[in-house]
Structure 1
Amino acid sequence: MRISDDQRRARLVAHQLDLGAAGPAPESTVEGVVDRLVALHATDAPSVYLSVLARVPELRIEDLQAAMYDRRTLVRVLAMRRTLFVVARDMVPVVHAGASAAVGRRLRARLLKELATLPMDPPVEDAEAFLAAAEEQVHDALAQHGPLTGAQLSAQAPVLRTAFLPTTTKSWDVRRSLTSPLLSLLSAEGRIVRGEPTGGWSSNRFLWRPVEDWLPGGIPEVDEAEARVRLAQVWLEAFGPATLADLQWWTGWNLGQTRDAVATLDVREVELAGLGAGVVLRSTELPTGPGLGAAAGHVALLPSLDPTAMGWKHRDWYLGPHREQLFDSAGNIGATVWWEGRIVGAWAVRTDGEVVSRLLEDVGTEGAAAVGAEAQRIGSLLGGGGVTASFPTPLYRELRG
């Protein structure tokens, strides 16, 4: 079976972007959006909010805040590809076993090696014992005084102020404390969680909390191989049809783990236009017939690092020739304008709250008007505040001015 780019784009719009079209429905809630997308990229805090607001017009910033901090149905986790995501609370055990646990093992091995080999202030004699003591201090500080920022944790757990000393004269090789690598490790191991922001909704600074504040009793244990099967299934439900390389890239698994996970699922092989072999779950309904279907006339303004824009390794079928202008040097995509299931431009929020965009393709008079209307809608939700991306792309810098 051959699947065209138009078919993939029509499914992308219907399943991932136009979630408020049917009115009140499970997928029009904050939790429903996250379920549809598996996980929201959370490296840039504003992206979590903007990814949801782009998909369901009725939702507001306050709805996200209520889900994350009142109901606590969503959790920030360090997971796939050592990237920060927001996932549904009931998916945390699967994501942790399927991705975070391996990240945690790599981070622990690296930190122990650095503690044992790099010059420290004060010196570290026994890396294993030192790290165990540091973990205990963090646990005790959060139990007695939490929630705490990283700086507040350093005050309550003095061991965090232990520093790695420079070993070269390079400008980037500077004195750095234990705080950041240890908190990242404990996050990947599912022992602590990034909670409320310390500033406004778009702040990238958070209070640290014990994981039990979201999952009483901690994260339930799940077999890692079984978790990878479940993670592959929900990803294919959201992003299929796709290639195995797409799934491998998204999860950060090796090829053997990717093949083993998919082999357990009820999939069928398909041919993807321009890519060759791909897979799709047999239960997936694919658009048929000529035309764009649900994608016709659809517009969306997606934020930087949006899960749809970052969902596949092979992106030409929706990205086209715009990679150089829309990605930074590290492979992070900026805020993008979508028309009929493909990327046609970029947008940004200036410091005065104005939403500005630039089209890289001719989408016609009606398309341009729809983009302008969507920019106004997004701007009205932000209350006149600016939003800054942590990973500026070339076109983003131009638009921000």
Structure 2
Amino acid sequence: MGDGVRYIGTAERRARLGLRHRLTGATRAQDPAGVADSLVALHGTDPATVYLAVGARLADPAKTVAGTERALYEDRTLVRMHGMRHTVFVFPTELTAVVHASTGLAVAARERASLVKSMAKAGAPDAAWLAEVEESTLVALARRGQATAAELAQDEPRLRERFVYAAGKSYEGVHTVSTRLLRVLGVEGKVVRGRPLGSWTSSQFRWAVAPEHPELDAAAAQAELLRRWLTVCGPATEADLKWWTGWKVTEVRRALTAIGAQTVSVDEGTGYVVQGDAGPVDDPAEPWAALLPGLDPTAMGWQQRDWYLAPELRPSLFDGSGNVGPTVWWNGRVVGGWAQRGDGEIVWRLLADLGGEERQPAETAVAAQAERLRGWMGAARVTPRFRTPVEKELSA
């Protein structure tokens, strides 16, 4: 890189990660909304991930379940909705308009077109009929407050109608109108997930009308989302940014220009930070360990991960589709995996070679985090949605 471009090495990137992702003892948050705000988004594909990710970052983990449920379903400071890469996340409510305009609109247009096309191929009613069903469904949902698809079908029976999806393909299936329509409405930002039918580990959700938000300019929203994320995760490469957002490279570059992102040098090549953030950061005052869940936003934050996750560990810690499982962290890098057994015990294994002097303090710190995790989870039992080799082995 040319003169004036600062190099940010692996050790400093790990220090930034620990501090900005609230994983050190001194940086833990006071409430779940603070965690989500710091990380921009919490992965929500596996419902338990949201709570486990919050619990790992709270000063008082005993507040995890009640605090997160209150933020999601009472105070509504957090919202579960579709976001980047057509994935379900939990966002701060104030960010919903930004996410919707920056990533949701383009996906929503494709999803609606796909639904209309699929129904037409199956000989189902036309788009006008679908619009009627949609309107009455939203009215029913507003009246009920929160409802399951089955409950909504009591008010709008046409939601029960079925059609063949992808006829003749290997993934052919029979879908109800409710299954596809509610998904489209979710991506369009008209409905969001409400309370689960069971406990915080349940993946069966009610639906609720989405909170109102202003319609933003797409380019301005992309710039704001990228600024928020780069503040937390910078430095990051263009490949990282394109992967995390799901945008085209032209959109990433436009957003980088709009926020005046600053160029730095990282081991992978050119990286970016927000303006004024290229200077050095202090190392965390104390060594730290963390047990993070599968799909945690830190583990899944970057596409290029060698600086915090050694390639030789990946076969044990990822499933066949690239989903990370539960991970053990020590001072900014992944060093092992963990699992919960049927009796509630939290078990873990170090996979990285830490060396003699480092291994003992790491083991002591990880054991303390395992006890901390078991303490706030209580009687809850969690099996990750996407299971990995080391998690299966440890939980057996």
Same-fold status (TM-score > 0.5): yes
The residue that corresponds to 1:124 in the other structure is 124
2:58 is paired with a residue whose SS is coil
Match for residue 276 of structure 1 among 265, 269, 280: 269
2:348 is paired with a residue whose SS is strand
User: How far off is 1:125 after superposition?
Assistant: 4.1
Match for residue 11 of structure 1 among 16, 28, 42: 16
CA distance in 2, matches of 1:2, 1:77: 37
1:297 is paired with a residue whose SS is coil
CA contact (8 A) 1:79 1:103 kept: no
CA contact (8 A) 1:295 1:340 kept: no
CA distance in 2, matches of 1:193, 1:169: 30
The residue that corresponds to 1:344 in the other structure is 335
Taking the TM superposition and a 5 Å limit, the aligned residue runs for 1:167-186 are: 167-168=167-168, 170=170, 172-186=171-185
CA contact (8 A) 2:16 2:281 kept: no
Q: Which runs of 5+ in 1 are unaligned?
A: none
1:209 is paired with a residue whose SS is strand
User: How far off is 1:6 after superposition?
Assistant: 0.7
The number of aligned residues is 383
Taking the TM superposition and a 5 Å limit, the aligned residue runs for 1:355-374 are: 355-363=346-354, 364-374=359-369
Taking the TM superposition and a 5 Å limit, the aligned residue runs for 1:1-400 are: 1-18=6-23, 20-21=25-26, 27-59=29-61, 60=63, 61-117=65-121, 119=122, 123-126=123-126, 128-165=127-164, 167-168=167-168, 170=170, 172-211=171-210, 215=211, 218-273=212-267, 275-284=268-277, 286-287=279-280, 293-294=283-284, 297-321=287-311, 322-363=313-354, 364-400=359-395
Tell me which amino acid in the other structure corresponds to 1:375.
A
CA contact (8 A) 2:124 2:163 kept: no
TM-score (norm 1): 0.91
1:28 is paired with a residue whose SS is coil
Q: Which moved more, 1:336-345 or 1:202-211?
A: 202-211
User: How far off is 1:109 after superposition?
Assistant: 1.3
TM-score (norm 2): 0.92
Q: Which moved more, 1:54-63 or 1:199-208?
A: 54-63
Cα distance change of structure 1 residues 154 and 175 upon mapping to structure 2, 3 Å threshold = same
User: How far off is 1:384 after superposition?
Assistant: 2.5
User: How far off is 1:271 after superposition?
Assistant: 1.2
Cα distance change of structure 1 residues 295 and 329 upon mapping to structure 2, 3 Å threshold = farther
Root-mean-square deviation (Å): 1.8
User: How far off is 1:174 after superposition?
Assistant: 3.0
CA distance in 2, matches of 1:277, 1:169: 43
User: How far off is 1:346 after superposition?
Assistant: 0.7
Tell me which amino acid in the other structure corresponds to 2:154.
A
Tell me which amino acid in the other structure corresponds to 1:29.
D
Percentage identity across aligned positions? 43
CA contact (8 A) 1:244 1:278 kept: yes
User: How far off is 1:29 after superposition?
Assistant: 2.4
Q: Which runs of 5+ in 2 are unaligned?
A: 1-5
Tell me which amino acid in the other structure corresponds to 1:378.
L
Cα distance change of structure 1 residues 169 and 84 upon mapping to structure 2, 3 Å threshold = closer
